[in-house]
Amino acid sequence: MSAEKTAITPTRAQDFPEWYQQIIKAADLAENSETRGCMVIKPWGYGIWELIQQQLDRRFKATGHQNAYFPLLIPLSYLEKEAEHAEGFATECAVVTHHRLETVKDPVSGKTKMIPAGELAEPYVIRPTSETIIGAAFARWIESYRDLPLLINQWANVMRWEMRPRLFLRTAEFLWQEGHTAHETQHEAIIETRLIHRQYEEFLRDHLAIPVVAGEKSENERFPGADMTLTVEAMVQDRKAIQAGTSHYLGQNFSKAQNISFAGRDGAVQLAHTTSWGVSTRLIGTLIMAHADDDGLIMPPRVATQQIVILPITPKEDSRQAVLDACQALAETLRHQTYFNDPLRVHVDTRDLGGGVKKWEWIKKGVPIRIEIGPRDLETRKICIQRRDQAANEKEFAIKEDFIRSAHEVLDEIHQTLLTRARTFRDANIASCQDLEAFHAHWAQDNPGWLHTPWAGTPEQENELSKQHKITIRCIPVPGASLPAHLGEPAASTCILTGQPTSAYVLWGRSY
Amino acid sequence: MSAEKTAITPTRAQDFPEWYQQIIKAADLAENSETRGCMVIKPWGYGIWELIQQQLDRRFKATGHQNAYFPLLIPLSYLEKEAEHAEGFATECAVVTHHRLETVKDPVSGKTKMIPAGELAEPYVIRPTSETIIGAAFARWIESYRDLPLLINQWANVMRWEMRPRLFLRTAEFLWQEGHTAHETQHEAIIETRLIHRQYEEFLRDHLAIPVVAGEKSENERFPGADMTLTVEAMVQDRKAIQAGTSHYLGQNFSKAQNISFAGRDGAVQLAHTTSWGVSTRLIGTLIMAHADDDGLIMPPRVATQQIVILPITPKEDSRQAVLDACQALAETLRHQTYFNDPLRVHVDTRDLGGGVKKWEWIKKGVPIRIEIGPRDLETRKICIQRRDQAANEKEFAIKEDFIRSAHEVLDEIHQTLLTRARTFRDANIASCQDLEAFHAHWAQDNPGWLHTPWAGTPEQENELSKQHKITIRCIPVPGASLPAHLGEPAASTCILTGQPTSAYVLWGRSY
């Protein structure tokens, strides 16, 4: 692609945040709404979310989880039960205080308007997350160790009042899934927390083509009320981190606050160990920032709203119908194929628009494969294939039957290209750092990458460094985290700040 | 079933409303929550909703609709734009007035508590329905007739503050889908309204085994802001009506209020014609009341959370594993079959409980087919089949391979039995009435059925009759509505109240 002409202005290099907004607009994924901080997710964007939902849901069910639904509104007194949790969400809760509207007349203008009426004895907050309301149900449902483990998931909307919203990444309302489980022992609860952590890592890699670093959050960065928070951290193209999913071991904190107790094997009453975990529409923001380029969105094939778009080329009226028929027939044949448990998603664009306009629209919308069929192709049975992971003018020709047979392989190849590209970029932008001076200097750069350092500092020392450089410890990578090979095996060393001996390493970075 | 012993107490005949609560409890479908009027939908109930969603969603997509997502919160000023609409929902709106919580100390007790803080300049209401917020988006999206029709659907939660909530049928928060479409002409918008009306009728009949009367609402009963409301009305076992789904032609009312305009084919600016339509978790309440009996829930096979449950009978330890293996193998084979586009849903109940306890649990949960396999069956290859549409002690034996081949036919048969049973009951409880005295007398009965009468009264006269007998006009049946044959073809007659000549007929009934 030439530097002079790109479909998206500005380019990533010129202005990354504005490029991101323009990608969303050009691909028609979402837009801001009248409601402060809340977005409208348009069909092309919602299609991605539906696929993420379906594919994750299969994983949850395959590992024994069941879906259920709990109230949107949480009585204020419930939220208050777990103090740390309540405090963590207090500054971003939407509060319902009235249950009807009343029409009043303005004494000056004489106009009528509606005002809140029917004040509630106890206000409700719109769930920012559902530990407290689901915990109350668990307390009712669980009587004996035989009722455990209890493995529940909820697909829902939640609300956290955001002062600086950004489409998909940080919105006042967002869609997510929240898993909530209760277990007999700490051991089992931690196994669950880790299982989901691994599921998220695999899902991002195998469905969204995003390589993540799987790790644990430092105490400062833990979920309010959790004993341990596991996270998957993605690097996007401005080298910032996005926390893409988290899995929390909540210990007995919520059980204590809500009396989630059970008669154990020995008959004695015990408190359950609980977990919670979630991913949200933020994943869509992550995949945009990870894969899109200066020509528009690039959708990872497995969650692409459409995987293949067929563009009929109809220069002459007399061959027009034959071309259209051939396109529809090809689409039908492809739709009978299965890819990742679902029929291939194929669209034929029959709109009466110039070929160039159409082609660029689908490039901007990020469809993995574009196929052109014109009158001459009907005889040769050849079709022209263009891939979104390649330059816009690259093309190859294939015999139609060969393409039909290999369509899923092409999609796999595109997935692999995106994953490899993202991993190469990420690995090149995570550096090892054992020297405090170099550490300080690093953050003065534009779009600095992440640093991997030995660390034995206190939460206060971490806070100080964080404030100084606008960074955070993204995570303490877990054993087996897919870190760049060049970091080597973590060896005994000394803390980059305090000089204390340590073999613990952390990853620092800027983040969304 | 003997009258003395039923799994559910009270029976339908003894106390229908309480029977309904007990069915939900015994089948573990849902429960009341801490949040006023809001329910927790438990996994067994939510499973039904997931299936309703998937199956309806396929229908919507097959007819060209796309899903999208719009904000939960609606600025009060938006709701006010369509006056009739705002007034219609004013008494049941949950209002958000604050966006954070503050901790304060009680000066007397010294205890701290949280109170709402950060008052909003403009309050928001939690969507009771989304015409206004989606209309605002439509106004932005639609520029020319080329952008029409715009066919959008949303799966979402909505909130209507209910003073007398009842699980599934009437809850403050409920889950639903709401379709919203915009069209170039009145004609096209009315075709859409009717298309969806027919989809709902078919869905209830073919998926939920519920025969409905398809009709139009009288002016009194219309959706606030609509020009025409079409409805599908189900009769449940206490002979009350449930409005199971509605499809509204909104005319240009919302377009005018929100300026949903477009440049027409002649270049002149016009207002779009819009529609909206929805069904909700109320469908679950409807199917319970339509099909369940005094032994528990009966799930229509196509939306049954599990369609087949296999119960291993293991009287002796030495044959136990062989029986369990045979059960799992049968389940696997069945799960490879497809029924209504999805793999068969089969569960093996391996819990270490008495056979009778297990059997009754699955009866109460309404699973369409129960299969028992014991040690002796391994040699004969025979399995014992029990059907939820038959008496609890009825059983038949089949060669395993024969059952595998015919499983989908058995499910179809059960569906057909439920549908026929419901239709027979309904038809027997809709009577023709042309005599005012008989009309008045009818409603003094316990659980009166519906009456089909000629009608030419005014909305005020309708209101008066409604109040007098606690009834409503459920609908004006549309031509082709599947009314009982004994009603005959509607002939010219005279209004039951006013004596005016009319050929219009309406259905009266009590309702939920």
- DSSP H helices, B207-347, are 253-258, 282-291, 317-335
Q: Name B445's Cβ contacts closer than 8 Å, sequence gap at least 6.
A: none
- DSSP H helices, A165-252, are 186-206
Give the domain ranges of chain B.
16-96+127-291, 306-416, 430-509
A439: closest CA among A507, A496, A366? A496
Euclidean distance between CA atoms A403 and A401, whole angstroms: 5
Question: How do the residues of chain A divide into helix, strand and coil, expressed in percent and rounded to 5?
Answer: 35, 30, 35
Contact present, B271 and B255 (Cβ < 8 Å): yes
What is the predicted pLDDT for the residue at A2? 45
- Please identify among residues 157-186 of chain A the ones whose CB lies closer than 8 Å to any CB of chain B: 157, 159, 161, 173, 175
Is residue B53 less than 8 Å (CB to CB) from chain A?
A: no
Query: Could you report the per-residue pLDDT of B385-442, keeping only the tens digit for each?
Result: 999 999 999 999 999 999 999 999 999 999 999 999 999 999 999 999 999 999 999 9
Q: Name B484's Cβ contacts closer than 8 Å, sequence gap at least 6.
A: B426, B427, B428, B430
Euclidean distance between CA atoms B204 and B206, whole angstroms: 6
Contact present, A27 and A297 (Cβ < 8 Å): yes
| B49/A42 touch (CB, cutoff 8 Å), yes or no | no
Contact present, B42 and B30 (Cβ < 8 Å): yes
Helix B16-27, helix B282-291: angle, nearest 10: 110
Write out the H or E segment, with its range, that includes residue B113: strand B112-126
Query: Could you report the per-residue pLDDT of B164-223, keeping only the tens digit for each?
Result: 999 999 999 999 999 999 999 999 999 999 999 999 999 999 999 999 999 999 999 999
Which of A35, A72, A100 lies at the smallest CB-CB distance from B93? Answer: A100
Is residue A142 less than 8 Å (CB to CB) from chain B?
A: no
Which of A31, A124, A161 lies at the smallest CB-CB distance from B35? Answer: A124
Q: Token match 């989304």: residue?
A: B130
A39 interaction partners in chain B (CB closer than 8 Å): 71
**If DSSP codes are grouped into helix, strand and coil, which group holds residue A24?**
helix
- Please identify among residues 388-447 of chain B the ones whose CB lies closer than 8 Å to any CB of chain A: none
A159 interaction partners in chain B (CB closer than 8 Å): 72-73
Question: Is B1's pLDDT higher than 60?
Answer: no
| B47/A69 touch (CB, cutoff 8 Å), yes or no | no
Which of B71, B97, B156 lies at the smallest CB-CB distance from A98? Answer: B97
For residue A408, the distance in angstroms to the closest alpha carbon of chain B comes to 22
Write out the H or E segment, with its range, that includes residue A487: none
Query: Could you report the per-residue pLDDT of B106-140, keeping only the tens digit for each?
Result: 888 888 889 999 999 999 999 999 999 999 999 99
Tell me the two tokens of residue B369. Answer: 């087919």
> The complex's ipTM?
0.96
For residue A476, the distance in angstroms to the closest alpha carbon of chain B comes to 32
Tell me what the mean pLDDT of segment B325-334 comes to.
97
A32: closest CA among A161, A200, A173? A173
Give every residue of chain A whose pLDDT is below 70, as ranges: 1-4
Is residue B39 less than 8 Å (CB to CB) from chain A?
A: yes
Share of chain B above pLDDT 90, in %: 90
Question: Is B2's pLDDT higher than 50?
Answer: no
Euclidean distance between CA atoms B343 and B401, whole angstroms: 18
Tell me the two tokens of residue A307. Answer: 């995987």
Is residue B155 less than 8 Å (CB to CB) from chain A?
A: no
| Domain range A430-509, CATH architecture | 2-Layer Sandwich (3.30)
Which of B69, B90, B103 lies at the smallest CB-CB distance from A101? Answer: B90
B7: closest CA among B32, B35, B27? B27
A242: closest CA among A209, A289, A178, A299? A289
For residue B88, the distance in angstroms to the closest alpha carbon of chain A comes to 11
What is the reported pTM?
Answer: 0.96
- DSSP H helices, B212-277, are 253-258
Domain covering B16-96+127-291 in this structure, CATH number: 3.30.930.10
Q: What angle do CA A426, A429, A431 make, to 5 degrees?
A: 125
Domain covering A308-410 in this structure, CATH number: 3.40.50.800
β-strand pairing of A212-216 with A150-159: unpaired
Is residue B103 less than 8 Å (CB to CB) from chain A?
A: yes
Pick the CATH number of B306-416 from 3.40.50.1820, 3.40.50.800, 3.40.50.300, 1.20.1250.20: 3.40.50.800
DSSP bridge pairs for A100: A117
Tell me the two tokens of residue A497. Answer: 């700040």
Is residue A83 less than 8 Å (CB to CB) from chain B?
A: no
Euclidean distance between CA atoms B223 and B220, whole angstroms: 9
B84 interaction partners in chain A (CB closer than 8 Å): none
What is the predicted pLDDT for the residue at A20? 98
Which of A47, A75, A156 lies at the smallest CB-CB distance from B34? Answer: A75
Is residue B342 less than 8 Å (CB to CB) from chain A?
A: no
Q: How many helices (H) and strands (E) does chain A have?
A: 14, 27
Centroid of chain to Cα B62: 21
Which of B34, B93, B100 lies at the smallest CB-CB distance from A92? Answer: B100
Tell me the two tokens of residue B195. Answer: 């298309």
> How many residues are given for chain A?
512
At the top level of CATH, which class does the domain A16-96+126-291 belong to? alpha beta
Is residue A74 less than 8 Å (CB to CB) from chain B?
A: yes
| A114/B78 touch (CB, cutoff 8 Å), yes or no | no
